Chains A and B, each alone.
Chain A
């Protein structure tokens, strides 16, 4: 089962982040790439600019590995791609794999993009439809538009749901009213 995305993306993927339900956990992970051109590496992939990108420099498939220190619940992974700027460098088919380490990865999602412009969010769910829990995620760029050899990836975000465990027993609930929220924390 693969997800097909095409054209300009208009959904606002940051809505949940702003409302506090999702949180970017990329900075809790170690990032590595299969290959990159000097000056176009992890820094540029992970910075906040849409104009900086990772440019690969080796054979396909190009891999971006995300390794966490602890088993992390992942809600989704987001890409920013811009066909208009990258043309043949824009990824076309992406495979997302998860597992414990390099020799333990299985593909959980496949994504096919056609001339994408903007942010795309791919939820990662396991067979019970829950966000996956994993130590490592690998993003594999299988092919590019117009059969390009190298790829440009502008931004990748990886997000985790906040407070995924059931808190009602522990009493640290999220209150909706201001009065109770006021009393719930000592700060």
Chain B
């Protein structure tokens, strides 16, 4: 029998492809790229092109991938998607959009529905990409629409949800994170990403899952649900997986015993399928039936069973079973084959050849957790120890828990394994059902967790800090003690201006996950607020060591120098943060604040405006603009912008304080007082509100109330010179000369230089008006000036009182009079 040259071709191609995917999965990018280049030269078709582009992209060379894909202009979906992704990486948004939906300016422009149909299972990611393009180009409604669609297709895409919240869109987490399948018996939809190529190489390296997890026994259960067609798109038809079952036990056994799996068998199977699937194809040299092949390749997975039983599985997308952390309490019946959830990002939907063995790949290592079986009983309670496989989970897992649960799981697996193994072959239909059932359970578990997180995150993006903290603290402990969750809670405290608690939580994050980078810029600002120089410089040093290309590291460094009053250096570092990431809105804000401090208001204004351009809901940027207008004494504009900031973050007492000050400056003192009352009611610990209230009361001649306020303030903040200064002014107005002098002298004590030189002037004025009322006894600490001659002998200035600063806890007046003599 003569072998069809096409088939020969494919025979040559497949092992190479397998090898390339293997190299990619083991991060041997130079190897993969070289092989891919050879393969592409041999057989230039869409798949090899895609493979080569993937090698470049994964190796961190998006520009190369982009040029390659552009040059060969392939209409296959994978290539288009990857091209769009490269474009976004290198900031060519227009091109990305035109690749995905067609040019904005041309007549032909796919609607979102068309996109959904066209890309099939990949559509969720396509929408995600599109939405990011739209949001960067100021088409917020379209972006929101795309994010919603992407979530509808795949509720596990957390980042879409996150971006929705950041855009200010009110979405209901319960609605979004919902399993859309009505019947519990139908298998879960799968994702369009085939694991074909990961699987085949993995078969040769048996039980890679072992190596990945450092667990003694393998996950036999994984192999039971190989190549699950888990379609999340309700549109897709239910694919029977019964065909897989017979093959499963074979591989399971193999895995368990650590023997060489029948790769020959698997490969043969794969080849058989290849013949079946790809025989219409003829990717021979030089002849490229581009158009016919690609659609078929992609449409195949979603059609009803193809000729060979296995081919179906191969075409389906694989997910690693979602593992359940088993505790002794739990129902052990359900343990044996927990499904493992996996998204392997290879878009080859064919040649899922050795799926059975190949589920564990490196990407799954952190995801082998599952739903607790108690999900059935109480879905949303804390007992639901769901572990999640969304990308962020990778950051958050603490290894010890991982391994512990695996081991627990494996113990029980081992016990049940032998028992169940025999039943496998006999029990095919119910096996299927059990598998489906478990898949549903794990999905339900994930979704529940996501719902809880989603609610918390949404509360946070609404700046509804208290609610956010409550919601997040309801999470199960192992989820709670992760970098992401803790830093969200820390952020909530930060927005409430409770810097001490925020700092403690951030410290905890640093302790648990020293590699966690996301919110560390906010941590550095917290330390800046608390003026903790040592910790801030340590943090800056650690972060720059961790990742020099992250904006957070440079923001932290900038904050460090700003705290040291080295504003020029701080500016330099913030600019560096912007160089590293031109879309970091927080870096713009911090840079703007530095310019405000160096009084370069035009540059500061430009920075704040840029920050708002990148992220319209960054209330600190709006505040910054308001601050500039305030300093330029354009009070109505200042109030406008402060109110805008307040509308975004309504619970910030600091913002309200500023609004009140500005109102007062516009002579609207009554509203100012009301605003301050509201601020104080929200945050009673904010001493500044009280201070401003006192000064406003003084300004509107409500002196007694002002005094009362100031007395309270004295207890709260004993070391603040301006408090005493204000009290002194009030007393002077009331005519209590002694008291006013005492307070002025205390004020000068606390602040000898008189950073507000007005203290000296006020005392000056006081002397020039009431020259007769000099009370020599109390005049001794008045400082170096000497308006009245008879103070000479006593006036040694504040220097002498610096050493023994007034003791504020005791009866102040008595002490003061002693000191002056």
Contact = CB atoms under 8 A, between A and B. Distances in A.
Given A166-B758, A168-B756, A180-B691, A175 B665 contact: no
Nearest to B619: A186
Contacts of B686: 183
A183 B722 contact: no
Interface string A163-176: 00011111111111
A4 interface: no
B720 A176 contact: yes
B552 to A, nearest CB: 15
A179 interface: yes
Given A168-B756, A181-B531, A183-B654, A19 B565 contact: yes
A186 B655 contact: yes
A21 B686 CA distance: 27
A175 B499 CA distance: 18
Chain B contact residues (Cβ within 8 angstroms of A): what range?
Answer: 35 or more
A182 B630 CA distance: 19
Report whether over half of chain A's contact residues are helix, strand or loop; otherwise say mixed.
loop
A184 B565 contact: no
Contact of A176 (B593, B658, B692, B722): B722
Contacts of A177: 717, 719-720
B590 A187 contact: yes
A12 to B, nearest CB: 16
Interface in A129-187: 162, 166-187
B750 interface: yes
A168 B528 contact: no
A178 B531 contact: yes
Given A176-B755, A180-B688, A184-B688, A170 B720 contact: no
A60 B497 CA distance: 61
A58 interface: no
Nearest to B661: A171
B669 interface: no
Q: Give the interface centre of A171, A174, A185, A186 by most chain B CB atoms within 10 Å.
A: A186
A170 B631 CA distance: 8
Interface in A1-53: 18-21, 23, 28
Interface residues of A, number: 29
A171 B665 contact: yes
A187 B528 contact: yes
A170 B645 CA distance: 19
A78 B719 CA distance: 35
Contact of B688 (A19, A167, A174, A183): A183
Contacts of A162: 599
B472 interface: no
B598 interface: yes
Contacts of A166: 758
Contacts of B750: 176
A180 B565 CA distance: 18
Interface string B715-759: 011011110000000000000000000000000001101011010
A123 B58 CA distance: 61
Contact of B755 (A174, A179, A183, A187): A174
B692 A171 contact: yes
Contact of B756 (A19, A20, A28, A174): A174
B721 A176 contact: yes
Contact of B654 (A19, A21, A179, A186): A186
B620 interface: yes
Nearest to B755: A174
Nearest to B653: A183
Nearest to B531: A178
A28 B600 contact: yes
B191 interface: no
Contacts of B664: 171
A183 B497 contact: yes
Interface in B132-182: none
Contacts of B225: none
Contacts of B623: 186
B235 interface: no
Interface in B519-573: 525, 528-531, 565, 567
B353 to A, nearest CB: 56
Contacts of A186: 619-620, 623, 645, 652, 654-655, 658
A182 B689 CA distance: 12
Nearest to A163: B599
A122 to B, nearest CB: 21
Contacts of B719: 176-177
A169 B630 CA distance: 11
B687 interface: yes
B598 A168 contact: no
A58 B593 CA distance: 44
Contacts of B499: 182
A78 B421 CA distance: 88
Contact of B722 (A21, A28, A173, A178): A173
A180 B687 contact: yes
Interface in B584-621: 589-590, 593, 598-600, 619-620
A178 B720 CA distance: 9
A182 B719 CA distance: 14
A166 B757 CA distance: 9
B657 interface: yes
B593 A175 contact: no
Contacts of B717: 177, 179-180
Contacts of A184: 654, 688
Q: Which of A169, A174, A175 has the most CB of B within 10 A?
A: A175
Q: Which of B593, B654, B692 lies at the interface centre, i.e. has the most chain A CB atoms within 10 A of its CB?
A: B654
A187 B645 CA distance: 12
Interface string B669-705: 0000000000000000011110110010000000000
Interface in A48-100: none
Nearest to A186: B623
A184 B661 CA distance: 11
B652 A180 contact: no
B114 interface: no
A143 to B, nearest CB: 35
B663 to A, nearest CB: 10
B521 to A, nearest CB: 11
A170 B630 contact: yes
B633 interface: yes
Interface in B490-525: 497, 499, 525
A172 B631 contact: yes
Given A173-B722, A182-B499, 11 more contacts: A19-B565, A166-B758, A168-B756, A170-B631, A176-B721, A177-B717, A182-B531, A183-B654, A183-B657, A186-B654, A187-B589
Ranked 4 nearest A-B pairs via Cβ:
A171-B661, A177-B720, A183-B688, A177-B719
26 contacts: A20-B565, A21-B755, A162-B599, A166-B758, A170-B630, A170-B661, A171-B665, A171-B695, A172-B630, A172-B661, A173-B722, A176-B750, A177-B720, A180-B687, A180-B722, A181-B531, A182-B497, A182-B499, A182-B531, A183-B653, A183-B654, A183-B686, A184-B688, A185-B593, A186-B645, A186-B654
Interface of B: 497, 499, 525, 528-531, 565, 567, 589-590, 593, 598-600, 619-620, 623, 630-631, 633, 645, 652-655, 657-658, 661-662, 664-665, 686-689, 691-692, 695, 716-717, 719-722, 750-751, 753, 755-756, 758
